[in-house]
Structure 1
Amino acid sequence: MKSLNIMICFLKQIYRHCLFYLQADIYFGKNLSSIPKHSFVLFPFHFSLLSCGLTGIVAFKRGKEKIDRLDLSLFEDRVRQIKENPYPSRVENDSFLDKSFFQENRLVSSVLKAARELKTENRFYEILIKPMFQDKLLEIGEHISNIIQSQEKWLTENMGDLIPEAVDAIAERITRLKDIAWCISSEILNNIPKVKELSSNPDELLGRGVIKVFRQINAVMNSLDRLEVRGRDSAGISLMFILKKEGFEEFENRIASADLRDHLNERTTKDILLNMGITISETKEENEKPIVTVTLTYKVAVEIGSLGDNVKFLRRQIKEDAIVQMLIPFTHEYFTVLSHTR
């Protein structure tokens, strides 16, 4: 009966997935910017790009993502089920690898999948702005760490009584539990203060778009920190924002109101790719509408120093830069982060 229910749930998921795409509109030879969201284009047209392979045959423009409220109760319940299903005290044959064990393994896999979903843009934002979610995840992470310790201890004490297949299966399960703990602690909770500290006002409520930009910058900064273990004499990062012309004009008005016009002009006259330099250029989009690209560069080069110094300097530069802090909340068409280290 359980197998039948699982099969029915699986078929329902496939049906909903197929229905989502079957309800989309279909266009032929159109540019993606000229069609509505949730639409297919056969042989999509690009003004300045020649596509090949599958991308030259079909493209899909996604609709607006539905945002559901975050509920950690199911996540907690699954972790509780894992905690309430300890291993038997002694196993001498392959009866351990029965149906119940594989069901428990699927439970662990479902928790790992749920933990990874918490890293998505909308989920991460909810966790960041609501301390109660952070406290709850911290508590869940501690429970999982305790489960890992107890199961590692159990495996060490009983390894001699287990068949090799059982040892491998249990070790794989423990590895997945460690992945869950790492995802919660290192990839979510540890990054929340890093993301917020990129703002000049980390204690104020930041918008979803602002957090999205800061999170991308933070991800690159984290990567630089890892790479610089091999050496750290210089590092740099460039932030490229592409805005519609009217959006850039509004940004310029805000700059003037904040009495930063002279400061902006001074930074735009610097040589390309110097620290605190700004490059502004105007061009046209594929639909011939004018767009403005604003690129801000931050660099550091110090022969003597400690690991982490370069990234700390770059983070501080962004945090204290009034112009980039003013630019980030504006609606932009595209945003790109480029970096280097040596």
Structure 2
Amino acid sequence: MAFLSCPSLIGTITMNPTIDVAAQTQSVRPTHKLRTFGEREDPGGGGLNVARVVRELGGRALALVLSGGATGRHLEELLAEDGTPFQPVRIAGRTRISHSVTDASNGHEYRFVAEGPTVGEAEWRAVLDAIEALDAGWLIASGSLPPGVPADFYHRVAAVAERRNTPFVLDSSGPALTMGLAGRVHLLKSSLTELEMVAGRALPTRDDQERAASDLVSAGRVAMVALTLGEHGAMLMLPEGPFWLPALNVVVNGTAGAGDSFLAGMVMALGEGRSPMDAFAWGVATGAAAVTAPGTAHPDRGTVERLRGLVRGPARA
């Protein structure tokens, strides 16, 4: 099974990018100086991850990204090195650096995520101007908002997308997510924690999760919801009801960017004109391929296509 040639440019927005530094150590112990090995650096942040995966799968993407200071220049170097098409919006603050360390003795991964720089009004408004000028078939807002950016920023982005008749995809958390859902959202990609926050209650069972996602779709807040649950699989909520897929049995070498990879695979398939359920299956395959590779969101295209062949059709609950 192979991806077709996706005709649509997929535009992504990364308001709080990071340089992801990943390494391993023999054992994580407090107060000790821990020697690391296998170090690597990746440009990170939801929208950058999505754009990189789209490119690696053979699609067209352009990442709008805030970039600042010496670390921002390094971020741009990393993006240029891995071939991710990007358009920087430069800011005064320094781009953040985040770290993940894997304990080689037990496989546990520890992730340390920085808050990010404070962004001024003129800087975040420059992103809105860039979105207005972007000729994209799909627009994806993925990731957190840094300090200084208003919580309704993604709602403003959704308004731009609606004026331009561009399908808008949202993957965020906190107030940025809840306020973003006040706009017109074609696809919401959510983790369980994020869906619980939107619902305002715990969602311990499949029935609870289906009801919360169905409420969003039936209320007209989103056209479809993709809920990713890691080793417990994923759910796609459409107007006709929920569909589930189990997680694929793969060797996990790192989880950073798995959700972004899922989103890239699904949106790319939608951009090719595939059905939502087929696109959902491609998302599951892409997310699974991502966790087999070290670093942040580096699914191999051949692995994605092989794993897609192992995904059975989504099942009604």
Please give the range of the TM-score, normalised by the shorter of the 2 chains: under 0.3
**Bigger helix share:** 1
**Bigger strand share:** 2
TM-score, length-scaled by structure 2: 0.26
TM-score, length-scaled by structure 1: 0.25
